[in-house]
């Protein structure tokens, strides 16, 4: 099966392309670097010729409110129009668990706009809503740092390994469209502040994580359950401590802190 992965050079996209190829599919990694741009439309018609499935794992280069909305709206419209012309039978997109609970953020308003365009289109689809990636815990801490302190709310948090995200998308993309949403998450629940503390400690990062119920998650207020999936979510296998051990093993201190 020919499967075009838009954003196929990114964190999730590159893992997904590798897994699809291992399963014998013709997976095309499409991104501006390979001459395919979903915002300008450049290279899209050629890339989609003969494709059965298109997976959208792009991300916007800017998360500024207007820019990110323009990115996801323009990119999604271009993809869906080109898929209709090419006779693509399944559009798969990666979104985020709790999107409708996080609309104070321009990023999540843009993800909701992306989802709504997909639902309104004529292309059969599967929207995969994932929880935050383990790889994203440190960037969250970095965003919430003031001086030598990291201020985070004790919200429930159920992150997952990027590798498990890619496996779930590969499985969904090679099955029939669900014409709806699938939630995926990690195997364990934590508190966001507690997990950031564990992540930074294992990197020998000297910052202190302060639990603050009024602190934001990426600048917005979140309720206790805003970031966690429903009970019927499909869960990844990788546990946070195992991933952390693996990703920090034998790395020099300077590399740990910047990883
Ligand atoms: N971070 C999280 O915890 C989390 C949780 C749930 C869902 N998600 C979602 O997961 C998705 C992918 O995240 P990621 O971390 O894998 O992203 P990433 O590593 O930043 O990769 C983004 C990809 O998008 C491509 N891209 C950017 N502009 C493009 C354009 N105009 N046309 C085509 N491709 C373009 C990039 O190509 P180049 O390499 O050529 O620039 C790159 O391949 C995002 O939509 C995000 O909302 C993230």
Rounded distance from Cα 58 to ligand 1 centre (Å)? 4
CA-based nearest residue to 8, from 100, 121, 92: 92
Q: CA–CA separation, 53 vs 99, rounded Å?
A: 24
* Residue ranges around ligand 1 (CB below 6 Å): 6-7, 9-13, 31-33, 36-39, 57-59, 61, 94, 96, 111, 130, 132-133, 136
pLDDT, residue 248, reads 85
Q: Which ligand 1 atom sits nearest the alpha carbon of residue 39?
A: 31
Contact 159, 135 (CB under 8 A): no
Rounded distance from Cα 87 to ligand 1 centre (Å)? 25
Rounded distance from Cα 127 to ligand 1 centre (Å)? 15
Contact 122, 84 (CB under 8 A): yes
Rounded distance from Cα 89 to ligand 1 centre (Å)? 22
Measured on CA atoms in the order 127, 33, 78, 87, is the torsion positive or negative?
Answer: negative
Which of the residues in the chain have pLDDT under 70? Answer: 250-259
pLDDT, residue 249, reads 80
Burial 148-186 (b: 16+ CB within 10 A, else e): eebbbbebbbbbbbbbbbbbbbbebbbeebeeeebbbbb
pLDDT, residue 132, reads 98
Q: CA–CA separation, 244 vs 89, rounded Å?
A: 38
Per DSSP (E only), the strands in the chain are 2-6, 26-30, 53-56, 90-96, 125-130, 145-146, 149-152, 156-157, 180-185, 190-191, 208-211, 234-235
pLDDT, residue 36, reads 98
Quick: pLDDT tens for 2-52.
999 999 999 999 999 999 999 999 999 999 999 999 999 999 999 999 999
């Amino acid at each position: 099966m020919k499967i075009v992965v838009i954003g196929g050079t990114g964190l999730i996209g590159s893992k997904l392309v590798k897994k699809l190829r291992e399963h014998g599919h013709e997976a095309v990694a499409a991104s501006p670097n390979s001459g395919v741009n979903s915002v300008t439309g450049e290279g899209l018609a050629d890339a989609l010729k003969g494709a059965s499935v298109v997976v959208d794992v792009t991300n916007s280069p800017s998360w500024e409110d207007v820019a990110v909305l323009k990115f996801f709206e323009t990119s999604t419209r271009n993809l869906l129009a080109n898929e209709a012309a090419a006779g693509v039978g399944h559009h798969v997109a990666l979104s985020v668990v709790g999107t409708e609970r996080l609309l104070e953020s321009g990023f999540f308003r843009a993800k909701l706009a992306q989802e709504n365009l997909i639902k309104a289109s004529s292309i059969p689809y599967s929207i995969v809503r994932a929880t935050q990636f383990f790889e994203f815990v440190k960037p969250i801490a970095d965003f919430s740092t003031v001086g030598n302190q990291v201020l985070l709310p004790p919200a429930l948090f159920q992150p997952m390994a990027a590798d498990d995200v890619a496996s779930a998308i590969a499985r969904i993309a090679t099955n029939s469209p669900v014409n709806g949403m699938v939630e995926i998450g990690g195997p364990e629940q934590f508190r966001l502040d507690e997990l950031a503390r564990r992540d930074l400690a294992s990197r020998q990062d000297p910052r202190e994580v302060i639990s603050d119920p009024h602190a934001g998650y990426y600048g917005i207020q979140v309720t206790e359950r805003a970031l966690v999936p429903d009970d019927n979510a499909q869960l990844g296998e990788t546990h946070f401590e195992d991933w952390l051990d693996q990703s920090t093993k034998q790395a020099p201190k300077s590399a740990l802190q910047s990883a």
